[in-house]
Each structure stands twice: as structure tokens, then as C-alpha cells.
Amino acid sequence: MTELSNTQLDYLRSHAPGNAVAGALEDLLSHDGYLLTSDANERSITFRFAMHLQARLPDWTVDCEYNRDGVDPKRLTFEGLYPDAYDEEAKTVFPDIIVHRRGGRENYLVMEFKKSTSQIGKEVDIRKLAGYRFQLGYEHALFVEVATDEQPGVTDLEWVLP
């Protein structure tokens, strides 16, 4: 599957940035499928996706693993986010991809990616995305899992609602 299914497209388009995300995912699959079939590092995949997304959202800034909230480090305190439930200290976080305006608090979209070969479930990513929305004010949050095997594709999508 080197393109998104109609069901996936409809699901993505149920939120404002969905058209841009869908186009960028299709560009990733068609132009950078080698990164998926070779099970490249997640950062390599998200970097290429971010380039495609930036071209579709020219009025915003798309960054990978950006850890600033204004000028301060981006931090989350969120129950159940980290293994130690008693640790209430905010942790510095590095979202895979964000769409925002640098230097301020205008946060449009945050995304977490996972490769299908990951041994770690998506639950922590979903909790992080909820934390980004609730604590850092992201308007939209999306989890994406990509197939990293001989047939590149998108195997899971989940908008995280407030």
C-alpha cells in the first residue's frame, strides 16, 4: 500500500490540517518509501515527512523534535505519562513533529510517529499527545504508525481529542 486508503483520507480530513497531512503522507510514501522498506531510523522518516508537510503549510513553521515552549524547554507533567506514577516533576519533551509559530505559543499541530517494527505500544505516544494538547495548547494532535516492511504504508492513524 503506497497510498492512503479512502477511509484513511476521510479520517484525516475530519480535522483542519488533515488535507495537508494526507498530502504529505502520500508524498512520503511515493518519494521516500525506501526509508520505510529499509526500516530507517524514525528521525529520518519524520524529517522527510516534515519537509513534505512544510511545503503544504507555507504560513506555518514545521519542526522535528523541537523542545521549546516560547524560549523555555517544552515540559509536560501528565499522570501516567512516565513509568513512575509518583514522579510529579515536569519532563522535557521532544515531539516528533510540530507545526507552530516559533518563539510564541501559537501551536497548530503536534504529531507522534511510530514504526510498525517498534516493540513499544502506542499508548505512551497517545498520552504524550493528550498532554501536548492539554498543557501546551496544541489545536490538533495526531498519532501515525507507518509500515516499515517491503510494502510501505500507513497502518494506524489516531486524532487525539481534548
Residue 139 sits in a domain of what CATH number? Answer: 3.40.1350
Q: Which pLDDT score is estimated for 2? A: 64
Q: Which residue has the higher pLDDT, 135 or 113?
A: 113
Residue 132 lies in a domain: yes
Q: How far is CA 92 from CA 34, 132, 135, 138, in A?
A: 32, 12, 13, 16
Q: For residue 89, what are the domain limits?
A: 6-159
Mean pLDDT of the chain: 87
Report the number of distinct structural domains present in the chain: 1
Residue 1 lies in a domain: no
Q: How far is CA 159 from CA 17, 67, 87, 124, 147, in A?
A: 11, 21, 27, 14, 18
Per residue in 15-42, pLDDT tens?
A: 999 999 999 999 999 999 999 999 999 9
Q: Which residue has the higher pLDDT, 149 or 156?
A: 156
Task: Please name the residues in contact with 118: beta carbons below 8 A apart, sequence gap of 6 or more.
Answer: none
Q: Which residue has the higher pLDDT, 93 or 3?
A: 3
For the entire predicted model, the pTM comes to 0.87
Per residue in 41-91, pLDDT tens?
A: 999 999 999 999 999 999 999 999 876 555 565 666 655 554 444 444 545
* % pLDDT > 70, the chain: 82
Residue 146 lies in a domain: yes
Rounded-to-integer distance, Cα 18 and Cα 109, Å? 10
Q: Which pLDDT score is estimated for 29? A: 96
